[in-house]
Amino acid sequence: MEVTYCSDPGGELETALRSTASTASVEGVLLLATPDPTVRSAAFESVLAAVEVPVFGGIFPELIHEGERKDQGALVVGLPSEPAVTTVSSLDDGASFGDALDASLPAAGYETAFVFVDAHASAIESFVDSLFRTYSVGLNFLGGGAGTLEADNEPCLFTDEGVVGDAAVVAALPESMGIGVRHGWQEVAGPFRVTEAEGSTLHALDGEPALSVYSGVVADAADTAVSRENFFEVAKSYPFGQTRMDGEQIVRDPFSVDAGGSIDCFGELPEGEFLTVLEGDPDSLVEAAHTAAADAQAGVDSPAGIVCFDCISRVLYLESAFDRELAALTADKLPTVGALTIGEIANDGTGHLDYYNKTAVVGAIESP
Amino acid sequence: MTDRQQRIQALYEISLSIGPKESLEATADAALSGYLTKLNCSVGAIFQRFPHNGDIDYRITATIPASPRTNETLTAAIDELPATDTTHREFVDRLPIAGETAGGSHYYLLELPEFGVLALGKRGGEIDRLTRSALTPLNEKLAEACRSQLIESQLRTERNRFEAVFDAIPEPVANTVIEDGVERVTRVNAPFEETFGYSEQAARGRPIGELVAAPADHPRADGDGGSGIGPTEIRRETADGVGEFLFRRVAVDADAGEFIHHYVDITAQKQRQQEFERYQRLVENLPIGVYRTTPGPEGEFRLVNQGLVDIFEGSSKADFEELSVTDIYVDPEERKQFSDQLLEQGSVEGVELQLQTVDGNPIWCEVSGIAVEEDGETVFELALQDITERKERQQQLAVLNRVLRHNLRNGLNVIRGNAALLADGVDRELRSHVTAIEDRIESLEQLSQKAGTVRSLFDQGREVNSRCDLAALLSEVAADFEERHPEATLSVGEVGPVHVRADVRLKLAVLELLDNAVVHNDKSVPTVSIGVSDSESKPGDGWVDVSITDNGPGIPEDERRAIETGEETPLQHGTGLGLWLVYWTVSLLGGEISIADAPSGTRIVLTLPRALETTRVQPPNADS
């Protein structure tokens, strides 16, 4: 896995792309970038088009490289095999995306797929469901939501069709990949039945206004009063959890509350289902990241490198402790690259494929 | 949260995904997704059982992933499914089945009662026994949802089929439902709109009786067709007026009060039937016999009208069921000849036959008919007219004509001889009387001769199959005229190439008119002119006028009126046969005669039909 970090995309990225692509052992490029003007310029389309091998990837709030956060620059990752890149457009349309996916990839020898979505598209979960219905565990998936926290609706995905938004890109590789998925959040209250919800907006829990129930839980757990003003600050420590058998709960991250007491979250909250309220502490989250990295490396015989996607909201929660998480994700003597994402996508090859929040997903690529 | 709580919660959340969706496949797919999500399974499928050739088939209703055979775990589960009816029973007894693949994945097959099987697969873990047991009521709920969706799907298919048939029916159809005692329309097809003028939108919800109403002048006593016994003929108002329909009201669901109203438009059929009945009445009431027979020396009556029964003095049509055709012939050989002639020629017209009534009284009949093929056999369709009276009159005329002319000629010979003797013996003063006698003798001889000519005219009949070149005819006539009347003047106008349908009789008529114009002329020099032109009284492209104008005193009013009316009375009669000869000739040739006053005499116009190009030309002097 050839990795080049360009701290100044305007001056170095084009060269790094050409150089990596021309390397004999490189058949494809994973490009992870911060929202630098260079990669968002119209001219960058032609730079990508001139690269001799397939390029895919995305623009993320920050990057991870060798145990460090990078809030600018780009990572050029040379891959040993040519990826089969599929671009799925119109991710704001909630229809099934199965027809856009090539179901024969597993039979053709592909084992792993990077998957990036525009984090601000509305049909991400429908797309992830289509992925699972098409491939199940036939492919191991690793990826997350691209874009910026400012939700500027700019194109954020590097695909075989150029730099696009409101879309998803799937890049399948024949190499196997060990995958670890963990978040470390622990249940503090619940379950509460979702008695009224609309998409990702939660109106009522157990027949009571959602904010009222949520505030009660937080008050008990942290002795903190929740208001509209301090909601984001408090909520980053108390996400919701959706239960599933034999696995960690799936985190749903609340981020705002309206005047009526309805809570907006990342990810859908179906009516009738149950939610718990989770809490974390830096140790449990860092331990979870460590476990995810260990699970990933245990999944392959000879890892050639680590690719990890960690939720940006974990940075906001962990603050200075995030350095410990980065250390936990980074493997000794192996190149480690990744990004801080807005939502994560992964399966470990055993169970259901889901769209996660506040989770660390780690992949260890098998040596060719 | 304890494992038990987690299990209950997961099962509850699975149950939320089970329920009827828009199709069986969608119902199964949503439930399968719920199972996999909440149980954290990697693969799954729902199979429906189908009886097939005495065995049981398991067909996939929903599957994750889309290609189940590409997944090792699901493939192992599918391989457990039985292939025969025998193994099916063993298989059902074994359910629920839990298995493990060589790769360490676990799969489970769970019974969906009276529907099929649910397969779940999990890699890197198991579904514990308690959870599997707890799934049973959910599986039953899923099976019930699938079954009801299946039934609904079948009902929907039936409904679609019904609607396809409904729309494909070429006759007007309305679907109705009785609500609060009023039968209201729920659907109509396109022919209904075309016939009654109400689209489905306009008809829906309205009482059927408002849309398909009996005409105001027609009492509603023709039934509603709802007896179920059979269709009813009804008369109803339509978009174009009033129509006749064969109507049937069929119960779709009598308990629910749903019916189909089916209208077969028989308006044209009824009109044809009425027309046929009128035609039948006409044929029945004709004073001639109309009948059908089979060919052959014997022949069999197939159909007879009342006219034939009357002519043959039968009591009813049934009399002819007992008779063969040859029975009405006086001479059976004549029947055979007639049959052979009709078979050979295909048609006959005006064949006079001596037949006999059912009581054996001889009658003369004129028969026309054709031979037609019907249902693989030849039949004769014939019209027969009783001409016994005419034949007898002809016989009487022939005898009278012969006797009168013979006796008249003999008597005139005697008178002429005696007049000659008398002329020698009387003085000059009485000689004029003898001359008058001789003149009248000559006149009577001419009259006798003309009567013979008239007889010959009719002997030739009405059939004219030749055409006459008028220019040639008039040229000949002019030559004859000059020879016969040197004291008179004849002028013939310019005649183009005009042919009329006529034979030699036309020349006779024209000469008669010229003779009359000279003989009855009081001028010192009788002058006659002949002209030919397109007809003035009939279409010129089909008719020609031959006009003969003289400078004589005109035709006596009595004779003229007799000719114009076509009949003589004791008070209104002519003095001779001359004009009648012309009248009959022109009539026999299919033409007309008209008489008009000319500025200085009389103008007689013969209007004659133009001849077809294909008609053979007959020389005008063929009789001379």
The shortest C-alpha distance from A82 to chain B (Å) reads 23
Q: Is the pLDDT of residue B429 over 60?
A: yes
Residue B221 has pLDDT above 70, yes or no: no
Over the stretch B158-204, which tens digit does the pLDDT of each residue have? 888 888 888 899 999 999 999 988 999 999 999 999 999 999 999 99
Coil/strand/helix, residue B71: coil
Q: Residues A48-52: what's their mean pLDDT? A: 91
Instruction: Indicate the pLDDT class of residue B620, thresholds 50, 70 and 90.
Output: low
pLDDT for B614: 64
Structural contact between residues A304 and A368, judged by C-beta atoms closer than 8 angstroms: yes
Scanning the structure block, which residue is given the tokens 């009168």? Answer: B404
Contact between B220 and B268 under an 8 Å Cβ cutoff? The reply is: no
Q: Helix (H) and strand (E) counts for chain B? A: 19, 23
Q: Select the more confidently predicted residue: B300 or B458.
A: B300
User: pLDDT-derived band of residue A190, with 50, 70 and 90 as boundaries?
Assistant: confident
Residue A23 vs residue B617, higher pLDDT: A23
* Residues from chain A contacting residue B42 (CB–CB below 8 Å): 136-137, 349-352
Half-sphere exposure of A263 (CA within 13 A, CB side): 32
Torsion of CA A61, A63, A68, A74, to 10 degrees: -120
Give the model confidence (pLDDT) of A318-365 as tens digits: 989 999 999 998 877 889 999 999 999 998 777 788 899 999 999 999
Matching residue, tokens 């994700």: A329
Host H or E run for residue A170: strand A168-173
A38 pLDDT higher than 70: yes
Instruction: Provide the β-strand partners of residue A29.
Output: A55, A78
Cα first-last separation, chain A: 10
Q: A90-104, B241-255, B401-415, B557-571 — which is least confidently predicted?
A: B557-571
Per the prediction, chain A carries an average pLDDT of 91
Please give the order of strands across the beta sheet that includes A140-146. A84-88, A168-173, A112-118, A140-146, A344-346, A354-356
The model's pTM is 0.60
In sequence order, the 6+-apart residues with CB closer than 8 A to the CB of B266 are B233, B244, B245, B246
Q: For residue B461, what pLDDT band results from cuts at 50, 70 and 90?
A: confident
pLDDT at B576: 67
Cβ–Cβ < 8 Å for A280, A240: no
pLDDT category of residue A130 using cuts at 50, 70 and 90: very high
Distances (CA, A) of A240 to A202, A255, A344, A358, B4: 11, 11, 16, 10, 20
Instruction: Report CA A56 to chain centroid distance, whole Å.
Output: 15
Query: If you average pLDDT over every residue of chain B, what do you get?
Result: 88
Q: Which A residues 241-270 touch B at CB under 8 Å?
A: 243-247, 270
* Top mean-pLDDT range of A92-96, B364-368, B600-604: B364-368
Pairwise CA distance, residues A139 & A135, whole Å: 6
CB pair distance less than 8 Å for A351 and B13:
no
Using a CB-CB distance cutoff of 8 angstroms, which residues of chain B are in contact with residue A244? 10, 37-40
The answer to whether A146 touches A39, Cβ cutoff 8 Å, is: no
Range in B97-101, B573-577, B603-607 with the lowest mean pLDDT: B573-577
pLDDT beyond 60 at B572 = no
Instruction: Name the B residues in 127-146 with CB < 8 Å from any A CB.
Output: 127, 131
B13, B66, B71 member nearest A133 (Cβ): B66
The residue that leads in pLDDT, A127 or B424, is A127
Strands B258-265, B173-179: pairing kind: antiparallel
Mean pLDDT of A148-163: 86
Q: What is the spatial distance between Cα B323 and Cα B318, in angstroms, rounded to a whole number?
A: 9
> How many other CB atoms sit within 10 Å of the CB of residue B181?
6
Give one word for A333, left, alpha or beta, with left for phi > 0 and alpha for psi -120 to 50.
left
Note the pLDDT tens digit of each residue in B325-344: 999 999 999 999 999 999 99
Burial (CB count within 10 angstroms: exposed 0-12, middle 13-18, buried 19+), residue A121: buried
A206, HSE (Cβ side, Cα atoms, 13 Å)? 10
User: Facing residues of B60 across strands?
Assistant: B47
The pLDDT, as a whole number, for residue B619 is: 59
Q: Give whole-number Cα distances, B478 to B466, B491, B501, in Å.
A: 22, 8, 21
Q: How confident is the model at residue B580 (pLDDT cuts 50, 70, 90)?
A: confident
Q: Does A350 touch chain B (CB under 8 A)?
A: yes
CB contact under 8 A, B123 and A137: yes
Are A245 and B131 an interchain contact pair (Cβ–Cβ within 8 Å)? yes
Spatial contact of B601 and B492, defined as CB atoms under 8 Å apart: no
Section A141-167 average pLDDT: 89
- Chain A residues with CB inside 8 Å of B43's CB? 136-137
The two three-digit tokens of residue A119, written as one number: 């984090």
Chain A nearest C-alpha distance from B84 (Å):
30
HSE, side-chain direction, 13 A CA sphere, residue B595 = 22
The per-residue pLDDT for A128 is: 93
pLDDT greater than 70 at residue B529: yes
Q: Sign of the C-alpha dihedral, residues A113, A118, A120, A121? A: negative
Paired with B491 in beta bridges are B529
Describe the strand order of the beta sheet including A55-59 as a list of residue ranges. Answer: A2-6, A74-79, A28-33, A55-59, A157-159, A162-164
Mean pLDDT of A67-86: 94
Is A351 close to B65, i.e. CB distance below 8 A?
A: no
**Percent share of chain B, pLDDT over 90:** 53
Pick B10's closest partner by Cβ from A107, A132, A243.
Answer: A243
Q: What is the pLDDT of residue B622?
A: 43
At residue B218, the pLDDT reads 63
Burial class (CB in 10 A: 0-12, 13-18, 19+), B75: middle
Average pLDDT estimate for A91-101: 81
pLDDT in tens, A3-17: 999 999 888 899 999
Query: Of the ranges A295-309, B413-427, B566-580, which one carries the lowest mean pLDDT score?
Result: B566-580
> What is the CB neighbour count within 10 angstroms for residue B76?
19
* Residue range B26-53: mean pLDDT, rounded: 91
CA–CA dist B621, B624 (Å, integer) = 5
pLDDT value of residue A93: 73
For residue B621, pLDDT over 90 is answered with no
